[in-house]
Amino acid sequence: MRVFACVALVVAVGCGSDPVRHVADAGPPDSPRLADAGPDAAAQPVTLTITDRGTPIVGVPVYFQNVDSSLVSATMTDTNGVASVVIAPGGFVTAINPFFPPIAFGSPPPILETFAGVKPGDHLVLRQDSSVGITITVIAPADVNPSAVGYKLYASCADSAFGDTIPPPANGSASTTTGTVTLYDCQGTADLLLVTTDTDGLAVRYIYKPATAVTDGMTLDLTAATYVSALPRDYTWNNVADSTDNIGVRDYLASPKGLLFGFALNVSGNPATTQAPMPGFTGALDIVESFQQPSITSVRDVFEWGAYSPTYTTDFGAHLVPDFATFATFDKATHSGVWTEVNGAVQPDFVTAGLYVSRLSPSLVWRWRVVAPYAAGRFALPVLPVPQDLYNIAGDDSVTFEQLDMAKVPGGYDAVRAGIFASNSPLDVIAGASGVISISDQPQVVTLQAPARRKLVRPRMNRR
């Protein structure tokens, strides 16, 4: 994240309604299927499947270990990209360098991926995906509203929820304008939103075209469509701690096929209030992200979603998980990341972390990503057995925390454990008609014993 690294936009609005692609009433894709409670529950295996662009990856070393790091099984993925073992609740599953060939000069540092706190019946997933792009030409009608000076096209399968700019009509007097946009993984249809904007970049009017057929190289003529006025939306954030610090806001709209629209603003105060026009098309799911940095060690990030309405009001402080009061360090004696926490109204469900490790002698660098159930101020890495023990962090090894998050999500850790490494942002794990995700993020890289600073940038809006 960011392994949350969402934290495919997966937004579900409940039974019978799918506002974002790849949704199911049963929950987010790749959610762990847990064994039914009962005498046979412990006999259910934990399964890990590894794929690269849909193709199984064969021969990846996978280690299944109990919570005390005792080895249950050292195996490799089979021809289906699967490794599966019966293991007691609470243990670790670690894949060694799943997406890269054997280490050679010039190859990327090896990456270890660890799921901690697994349960019998878990179906864990590691995957790499690729996107297929198409280019379409859009002919848009000129907006006669005198405030309209800009044009943007948004699509449920676009690269960004912030839209693609289309040139305004020539000389300001032409009846149409034309632009070219690139879309990704549309599967033949897309929900489209054409928005005209004022000099501040705010929405003036819009055209919503759901379930539109799209093919590579096509021309889409929207000139017969009618613009609808964007209406003002009132926002209020109550219970704002550190009210002198700005709250950054991103407000997104999702359609039945995917994330469709987004814009950003800043607010401050307690309560913090503002108003902005929104293209609130029928059936839109609204996702408001509010983030605030109260200190150099912590960023608060809250995602709240529900049916779009002209008014948004939230109790910001009531959703917050604890802040990081200190930068994290790595305790080699316990093979654990540790930190101090402060404040917080709700307890996190899990932690994700990304470490960059460097060893001088013998020379070796590697990355280690982990997702683990929440424990106050710490997470543990397994102690790997021979021959992978060279990756255990010890001695003079230098450790950089490239990423560290505490998060609370609907359904808890069980709801996201299986597919967390396959997501790109918290938007990826949004599910249900309404809900809240709350995250504390360690915003800066901390270098211990000194390798060059590096950071995994957590993606916020790139949906590929």
Q: How far apart are CA 456 and CA 445, in angstroms?
A: 9
Where do the domains of the chain lie? 41-128, 133-229
Q: Mean pLDDT, to the nearest integer, of 362-380?
A: 96
Pairing outcome for strands 45-52 and 123-128: parallel
385, burial (CB in 10 Å: exposed 0-12, middle 13-18, buried 19+): middle
| CA-based nearest residue to 169, from 177, 179, 158 | 177
CATH superfamily ID and name for 133-229: Immunoglobulins (2.60.40.10)
Pairing outcome for strands 111-116 and 364-373: parallel
pLDDT confidence of residue 379: 98
**Bond from prior residue into 210 cis (ω within 30 degrees of 0):** no
| Whether the predicted pLDDT of 9 surpasses 90 | no
Residue-averaged pLDDT of the chain: 86
49-58 pLDDT tens trace: 999 988 999 9
Q: Quick one: which H or E segment has residue 413?
A: helix 412-416
| Whether the predicted pLDDT of 129 surpasses 80 | yes
Q: Mean pLDDT, to the nearest integer, of 358-369?
A: 95
Q: Mean pLDDT, to the nearest integer, of 333-357?
A: 97
Span 41-128: which CATH code?
Answer: 2.60.40.1120
Question: What's phi and psi for 317, nearest 5 deg?
Answer: -65, -30
Q: Mean pLDDT, to the nearest integer, of 322-330?
A: 97
Do the first three CATH levels of 41-128 and 133-229 match, i.e. the same topology? yes
Which of the four pLDDT bands, split at 50, 70 and 90, describes residue 134? very high
Q: How far apart are CA 456 and CA 464, in angstroms?
A: 16
Q: If you count them, how many residues does the chain have?
A: 464
Least confident of 243-257, 365-379, 415-429: 415-429
| Whether the predicted pLDDT of 439 surpasses 90 | yes
| CA-based nearest residue to 256, from 223, 297, 285 | 285
Which of the four pLDDT bands, split at 50, 70 and 90, describes residue 20? very low
pLDDT confidence of residue 65: 98
| Whether the predicted pLDDT of 75 surpasses 60 | yes
pLDDT confidence of residue 101: 64
Q: Which two tokens stand for residue 396?
A: 């003079």
Question: What's phi and psi for 170, nearest 5 deg?
Answer: -60, 135
pLDDT confidence of residue 108: 77
Q: Which two tokens stand for residue 257?
A: 């096929």
154-212 pLDDT tens trace: 999 998 888 999 999 987 668 999 999 999 989 999 999 999 999 999 999 999 999 99
